[in-house]
Amino acid sequence: MAKTYDIFISHSWTYGNHYDRLIEFFDSDPYFHYRDYSVPKDDPIHNAPNQSALYEAIKRQIAPVNIVIIMAGVYASYSKWIDKEIRIAKTEFSRPKPILAVAPWGSERVSQVVRNVADKIVGWNAKSIILAIREISL
């Protein structure tokens, strides 16, 4: 029986269609099984009454996952929520969650913030992403 990977895809993926394409990558591989704990853009979690409540809601989403996936484009360096997702993944649990950084298609530069915390960095390639998930997931 193949393992099912519980994943959290960072909010940074809301830029463009990256999130949707990543899900297509996963869905197109008949041997890759996953559950998505990401927070869709229309999820009520975004209407949390304050930043602390939103932080705790995202922490609950990340708690059961095997891996956190972050888009490693340079704009990630300027996202306060990526910083919070990283902090949650790396410090809020007894066993830190591995972080997979994915460089966007055609990107020549990767966020230094993400580079510093990533357990692995891969390019925009379905096989590379899925192999990395299998390699570094809890």
CA 33 to chain centre: 16
To which CATH superfamily is domain 4-136 assigned? Answer: Hypothetical protein MTH538 (3.40.50.9200)
Grouping H, G, I as helix, E, B as strand and the rest as coil, residue 12 is helix
| Rounded Cα–Cα distance for residues 18 and 15 (Å) | 7
* 67-71 vs 33-36, strand pairing mode: unpaired
| Rounded Cα–Cα distance for residues 53 and 124 (Å) | 33
| Domain positions in the chain | 4-136
pTM attached to this predicted model: 0.90
Computed over every residue of the chain, the mean pLDDT equals: 87
Task: Pull the structure tokens for residue 108.
Answer: 């020549």
Contact predicate 70/7, CB 8 Å = no
pLDDT, greater one: 90 or 42? 90
> Distances from the Cα of 81 to the Cαs of 11, 46, 78, in angstroms?
7, 12, 9
Give 70's strand partners.
101
Nearest Cα neighbor of 97 from 1, 6, 32, 27 is: 6
| Rounded Cα–Cα distance for residues 28 and 89 (Å) | 27
pLDDT in tens, 55-94: 998 999 999 999 999 988 765 545 677 888 999 999 999 9
